[in-house]
Amino acid sequence: MIHRRKRSALFILSGATLAAAITAQDARAQARLEQASDETWRFSAGLGVFDRPRYPGSGDSQVVAVPLVTANYGRYFIGGTPGAGFPFGVGFNLIQDDTWRFGVALGGELTKPRKASDAPLLHGWGDIPETALGSVFATYSLDWLTVRGFLVSDLGSNGQGTRIAFDVEGKYMVNERLLLTAGPGITWANGSYTQTFYGITAAQSLIAGVPPYRAGAGLNTVRFSIGAQYQLTEQWGIGASIITAWLQGDAKRSPITEDKTQNTYGVFASYRF
């Protein structure tokens, strides 16, 4: 039987995707970066530490440290890609004002999304490698409400397909320094993505001694997230997030899936200069 790490119900509160957590640095500082229209460089650097599932569907977790670095020049950005669906890349905001942001980006993940050593069932299957990703994204913000979505697709032909995500986030300013956020979201994935992460091919079936499993397109996750950001000084900000996603459809039913509830907990600090 595959080992499942037990988690206290105290922590199963809410969720989103890891990419959203990575790019959820100090919201007020990030908003200034996103809305910058002047031809000057703006920088933000920091570090995030996250306890996240070892791979999509895993019942075990791992702690990872992730650099949080963004450089903006007018409508161009390098590094953290807010709302694009991956943690690191380069991009351009085609539309950028106080309410709307619409852009494109190229980037990818910082680590392999799954390794053969991550679980006994996966031994001999080979790793799922990092790949180049392309994204089209949009964000709408008005007062306390933010709505964002993205379409991200595998440009490196590594079987990671296409995903479409949609999130709604509410914001509450407790005081001039403390910001609280919370909101739901969903992700749809095509058959290529779902088969790569949750399917079992004939060859993998022979290696693992389990029946083949064909995973198709459909709703992949439903999630809810909560977060807090605190502005220590004009430059320094800290924050925390709790992320929970509930697997759906073929991802939920897959023999690879050890836990249908995927939790990510994170803390981070950033410096804007």
What pLDDT is recorded for position 109?
86
Q: How many residues does the chain have?
A: 273
Phi, psi (degrees; rounded to nearest 5) at 248: -130, 165
What pLDDT is recorded for position 81?
76
Eight-state DSSP code of residue 32: H
pTM for this structure? 0.85
> Splitting the chain (273 residues) into consecutive groups of 10 residues, what average pLDDT does each group show?
39 39 46 56 94 96 92 92 86 93 93 95 96 97 96 96 98 97 98 98 96 98 98 96 97 98 97 91
Q: How far apart are the first and last CA of the chain?
A: 51
What pLDDT is recorded for position 80?
82
- Per-residue pLDDT of 27-53, as tens digits, reads 444 454 444 456 789 999 999 999 999
DSSP 177-241: SEEEEEEEEEEEE-HHHHHHHH-B-HHHHHHHTS--B---SEEEEEEEEEEEEEE-SSSEEEEEE
